[in-house]
Copies of this chain bind each other. A is one copy, B any other.
């Protein structure tokens, strides 16, 4: 981590180049926060070109000079993506942006002073997300307030502040706007404030970059001038022919839209959990039933599948931001019981996989070796934020199981450093008592039943929580003496695949 002096010295160099871009008619865009969203947005905005192939923006990513964030600044300046991504376009954009001097990163807050646009992409957490009354919701506003305050203290008078962070409903008008106005008043700025909200829909995965560049975007400003500035800027890096922009009438509507769309997803996952339990009890294969329903394009084709649980940064908390913001920022007394119950259902979902494991192994897991395949919250992505594997591991360890975790995309499990993470799949499986398939990574889908059997060295138990194992593969394993059980796979259960002989 650089000292403040080192940081300023490094920034002097960036500043010079950025101002040269600005003099050539390009926007200086400062991205505040270089996490899963900010780093990718920075890369895409820096990669925006006009029809002649010239850059439209120069981007400076800013993150804090602390051990847990500075590495992102260093990675970006070295031309590397701070996030491992299966989308090669992300690394390509970053390398190109750095090579062409249109993408920089810094810890120096002077960057805000030269920005034409400041994009706020900082974290805003919601804790106590599970169980209890909605009054227990704990929203981590301090860092958001502080980030906005920093912007207000340093921004140039006519810069556009664009909030992309997912915020409690009301945060733009009740938190960001008053803070910015107060800081600007202190500085004697009389120019009108330009503030807009444009929520991101970034999806880590193979289409990471396109989830920004070629994906629909809603936005709203605190006034017409802010909305127009936001539209003009968003149009520089979003392919609006593919994904037209949608202006909403006010920032509250825009904030609510983001929280609603993620709550909708979360609810539909929780709904399918009820039917997972039902289908299992009836001996039905719910995956196949859902497939047969999803052919109904336009009405039913987004029905969710049974699964292991819900993780990530959005679906696990966004409903709370709606409930909390409505009550505490905007004075609403409306409750969202169904929406919040869904969060609770989804949080506890991995316990069902544990129940299935017990059905096959027996109630006492003491001393039982369990190999957990997959700790990421998403297939083919190395992202452990709020992974549902956390709860399963906690419960397995509490029950005395000998746990080995494996994930081809994760080298270090920051949230559960005490869980043994085995790099080599064969070693993770060797002589284990039970395998839990928790994430449908391609590497696991490609496994042949003989591979699994050989790696373990003898028949064992397999719990498939993600429809990774086909019926044909299950049949081969069963012939070899394995016990199998699966989330949503009632047909295995009705055929006695899991009963101990």
Give the interface of A toward B (CB within 8 A): 169-170, 201, 216, 218, 243-244, 246, 248-250, 252-253, 256-257, 260-261, 263-265, 267-268, 270-271, 274-275, 277-285, 288-293, 295-296, 298-303, 322, 326, 330, 332-339, 341-342, 345, 491
User: A474 to nearest B CB, angstroms?
Assistant: 14
CA distance A322 to B291 in the complex (A): 19
Q: Which 10 A-B pairs have the closest CB atoms?
A: A281-B332, A246-B292, A216-B295, A218-B292, A278-B334, A277-B334, A281-B334, A257-B289, A253-B284, A261-B293
B201 and A288 form a contact (CB under 8 A): no
- Besides A253-B285, A256-B282, A267-B268, 4 other CB < 8 A contacts? A169-B282, A248-B289, A281-B332, A281-B334
Question: Chain B residues near A333 (CB, 8 Å)?
Answer: 281
Question: Chain B residues near A249 (CB, 8 Å)?
Answer: 285, 288, 491
CA distance A196 to B439 in the complex (A): 36
CA distance A241 to B285 in the complex (A): 26
Question: Chain B residues near A291 (CB, 8 Å)?
Answer: 246
17 A–B contacts from the bound complex (CB under 8 Å) = A216-B295, A256-B284, A256-B289, A260-B293, A263-B275, A264-B268, A267-B271, A270-B338, A274-B337, A278-B322, A278-B326, A278-B332, A281-B326, A282-B332, A298-B301, A301-B302, A338-B345
Question: Chain B residues near A250 (CB, 8 Å)?
Answer: 284
Partner of A300, one of B299, B302, B336: B302
User: A4 to nearest B CB, angstroms?
Assistant: 42
A339 and B218 form a contact (CB under 8 A): no
User: Nearest chain-B residue to A303 (Cβ)?
Assistant: B264
Question: Chain B residues near A335 (CB, 8 Å)?
Answer: 274
Tell me whether A300 and B332 are in contact in the complex, defined as CB-CB below 8 angstroms, given that A253-B288, A281-B326 are known contacts: no
User: Nearest chain-B residue to A170 (Cβ)?
Assistant: B282
Partner of A284, one of B252, B290, B339: B252
B216 and A296 form a contact (CB under 8 A): yes
Question: Chain B residues near A285 (CB, 8 Å)?
Answer: 249, 253
CA distance A334 to B274 in the complex (A): 8
Partner of A299, one of B302, B330, B491: B302
Question: Chain B residues near A253 (CB, 8 Å)?
Answer: 284-285, 288-289
User: A448 to nearest B CB, angstroms?
Assistant: 24
User: Nearest chain-B residue to A278 (Cβ)?
Assistant: B334
Question: Chain B residues near A288 (CB, 8 Å)?
Answer: 248-249, 253
A283 and B252 form a contact (CB under 8 A): yes
A282 and B248 form a contact (CB under 8 A): no
Question: Chain B residues near A201 (CB, 8 Å)?
Answer: 296
B338 and A292 form a contact (CB under 8 A): no
B252 and A326 form a contact (CB under 8 A): no
User: A102 to nearest B CB, angstroms?
Assistant: 30
Partner of A274, one of B271, B278, B336: B336
CA distance A491 to B249 in the complex (A): 10
A292 and B257 form a contact (CB under 8 A): yes
CA distance A266 to B279 in the complex (A): 19
CA distance A322 to B267 in the complex (A): 19
A282 and B326 form a contact (CB under 8 A): yes
B295 and A246 form a contact (CB under 8 A): yes
CA distance A174 to B290 in the complex (A): 23
B336 and A278 form a contact (CB under 8 A): yes
A338 and B271 form a contact (CB under 8 A): yes
Question: Chain B residues near A332 (CB, 8 Å)?
Answer: 278, 281-282
CA distance A298 to B338 in the complex (A): 24
User: A187 to nearest B CB, angstroms?
Assistant: 32
Question: Chain B residues near A256 (CB, 8 Å)?
Answer: 278-279, 282, 284, 289
User: A288 to nearest B CB, angstroms?
Assistant: 7
Tell me whether A268 and B268 are in contact in the complex, defined as CB-CB below 8 angstroms, given that A284-B256, A301-B298 are known contacts: yes
